Structure 1
Amino acid sequence: MAVPHYTYLKMKMPGTKGIITINGDYEKSSACAAASIRLAESLVIVAEKKLLDRVVAMAGKQPNLSPEPKESETEGSFKPAKETKKIPLDPERHIVIGANLDSN
């Protein structure tokens, strides 16, 4: 039942004696956003360094590293279902779904 107002850093919700308003802190919000940006940049740098190490290894003809990561190293890798079927959306487009999905 709470309603967040992100622009104003406020959240309103019903209380026993009327509407409760919780105010946010702009400085704290800005500091948190900056810290999140630094974390995201550091994660990107780590991933790019791993890829660069693989490229350097391939250039040096080192057999222990390849430019393609192993399947176990890829996070969130997507594997489609073994049995799929195409569902037409319109004459030019279609989607692929699992063939054994429930009708619910």
Structure 2
Amino acid sequence: MWFEVVDLESPYHALLGQPALANFMAVPHYAYLKMKMPGPKGIITIADDYQKSLACVAASSRLTESLVIAEEKRLLDRMVAMAGEKPDMPSDPKDTEAQGSFPPAKETKKIALDPTHPERFAVISSNLDNK
């Protein structure tokens, strides 16, 4: 979607999108920073200069960068706060496996996944059907 910014000496300012440009039958030319549209007494030409355009882009870039930095800082502060609330993670991942959220079935059996590596196994309930 395209927008036109027109700097008018008026208390009202507008961003015109593609539907508005079509309604006004306006033709923007971005390389020359001009826009033409039909008016009651002939063609209306709105022109701007590159200095204002570059200043506007620079200001917009600074604003965007400051908003992004503020949002990243907010997310980082949130992550730091969440990390402070959680208990320390155990250094051994196998310790967390033992503290699973589901209690194991009372009657289980170990099934070897790889005969050459006996430490690789699955624990299943011994009450399962053969299907």
TM-score by length of 1: 0.52
* Cα shift at 1:26: 0.7
Residue equivalent to 1:30: 54
Give the structure with higher Rg (CA).
2
State the identity as a percent.
Answer: 76
Corresponding residue SS for 1:60? helix
- Structure 2 residues without counterparts, runs of 5 or longer: 1-24, 87-131
Distance in 2 of aligned mates of 1:17 and 1:60 = 69
Q: CA RMSD in A?
A: 1.7
Matches within 5 A, 1:22-101: 22-61=46-85
Aligned residues, how many? 62
Distance in 2 of aligned mates of 1:52 and 1:58 = 10
Partner deviation per Cα, 1:15-53 (whole Å, 9 max, x = no partner)? 345433222111001100111111111111111011100
Distance in 2 of aligned mates of 1:46 and 1:15 = 45
- Structure 1 residues without counterparts, runs of 5 or longer: 63-104
Aligned residue identity for 1:55: M
TM-score by length of 2: 0.42
Partner deviation per Cα, 1:37-95 (whole Å, 9 max, x = no partner)? 11111111111011100111122227xxxxxxxxxxxxxxxxxxxxxxxxxxxxxxxxx
